[in-house]
Amino acid sequence: MISHLSPEEADEFCSMGVVQCQTEWVRFRNEILLPSKQTNYEFVNHIRQNGYGFTSDISSKLEYPTLIITGRQDNVVGYHDAWRLIEDYPRATFAVLDMAGHNLQIEQPDVFNALVHNWLNRLESENFRMV
């Protein structure tokens, strides 16, 4: 499958892809590679020059249902640092997915979708509304 890709495509896909089959390639191309080619460089350069920040401190206690999903083979951000958040998120589900890298939603879609649906159901059952 990879032999049918251009060298640039293969490099992009293989640099982060743990599961490298046709289905994963199509999703990677459509959801990551092609959109990345439409980058708003003015916006990106603004962030590079001025930095960016969260609207809230992610290290403060959060008493709401939370979902943290990481890929065991993620070579971009990993999973160790995310685990440090668990004590500040007493309602958190923390999952480390094997055979998943930075694009875990593509590589492990069934588990990813089940976890997200579970989290959304927990929010809904508490009538939690985003403000």
What amino acid is encoded at 39 in this protein?
Answer: T
The per-residue pLDDT for range 24-52, each reduced to its tens digit, is 999 999 999 999 889 898 988 888 888 77
Tell me if residue 89 falls in helix, strand or coil: coil
User: What percent of the chain stands above pLDDT 70?
Assistant: 92
What is the Cα 78 distance to its own chain's centre?
A: 11
- What is the arithmetic mean of pLDDT over 99-111? 96
What mean pLDDT is reported for the chain?
88
CB 54 within 8 A of CB 82: no
Chain length of the chain: 131
Backbone angles phi, psi at 111, to 5 degrees: -70, -45
Under DSSP, the state recorded for 32 is I
**Residue type (1 letter), 19:** V
List the one residue out of 19, 35, 2 whose CA is nearest residue 106: 19
pTM for this entry: 0.78
The Cα 25–Cα 30 span in angstroms is 8
Spell out the domains of the chain, with CATH numbers in brackets.
2-125 (3.40.50.1820)
Taking every pair of Cα atoms in the chain, the longest distance, rounded to a whole number of angstroms, is: 50
Q: Is the dihedral of CA 65, 71, 75, 80 positive or negative?
A: positive
